[in-house]
Amino acid sequence: MTRRRWIADEFDAGRNRAVLTGEHAVHLSRVLRAKVGQEFEIALPGEHPARLGRIVAIDNSRVEFELGQPVSSILKPAFEINLLLAIFKFDRMEWAIEKATELGVSRIVPVIARRTEKPLAVAAGKRQQRWQRLALQASEQSRRQSEPEIALPMPLKKVIESASGLRIVLSETERDQPLQRLLAADPVSAVTLAIGPEGGWTEEELALFAQHEWQAATLGKSILRAETAAIAALAIVVSSLQFSAAR
């Protein structure tokens, strides 16, 4: 049976200890009722492989592990994927963040677009910590070495100007450039992918993307919900980058 994996909040190489803290520890100690002596896989920061961890101490908001043998080598992706996700209804956005994490996204930036509903834009900043927790949980479930960064919400213009790598904006008005073809034509190791809000990008926003040399792409003729588009596009990007890295 595969042991559950946890991502350490603290790591002391000298003492051979790892620690979960805060709500992370509370979930293990109170919700899952962990006991001293139980063993789990512990993912460690930096260039350290995951190791077997045995619980040696439990407090209300702190669980300490004694570290044993490595259980896996570091599986560092050979590519980087940044996802710009225009803010939409929070329940569906949380689902998208969870699934994007499972697919291996490196960083998610919630974006305030022209068609982002104002109440959502105002409330989004208070959701960032919750989104980061969801990403951590999804990372542990999918056995990642670390969780993606969930940035604070940012205005679209600022994000467009600072993005790097192959920059792709999904657009409902694009008809001639399928995402698969664009990725095949320009093999890269880093991609920034922009997903629009409900109602799509405005003409002014698409012009701004073009001004900063973003490339527009399509997923096909169907009009997809934002969360569906995000996951479909990420699956294509991950598959393409994995294929390129294997060649």
Read off the tokens for 188.
């890269």
Residues of the chain predicted below pLDDT 70: 1, 73-77, 243-247
pLDDT at 94: 97
Distance CA 92, CA 31 (A): 25
Distance CA 24, CA 65 (A): 14
pLDDT at 32: 86
Q: What is the pLDDT of residues 76-128, one digit of tens each?
A: 667 899 999 999 999 999 999 999 999 999 999 999 999 999 999 999 999 99
State the number of CA atoms in the 13 A half-sphere of 16 facing the CB: 10
Task: Extract the runs of DSSP E, i.e. beta strands, from 162-207.
Answer: 166-170, 190-195
pLDDT at 74: 56
pLDDT at 162: 87
Neighbour tally for 75: CB within 10 Å = 11
CB 205 within 8 A of CB 113: yes
The secondary element (H helix, E strand) that includes residue 107 is: strand 107-112
* Residue 153 phi, psi (nearest 5): -55, 140
pLDDT at 60: 78
DSSP label at 152?
Answer: P
Q: How far is CA 211 from the centre of its chain?
A: 27
Neighbour tally for 98: CB within 10 Å = 19
Neighbour tally for 241: CB within 10 Å = 23
In percent, how much of the chain has pLDDT > 90? 69
List domains and CATH numbers for the chain: 5-70 (2.40.240.20), 80-246 (3.40.1280.10)
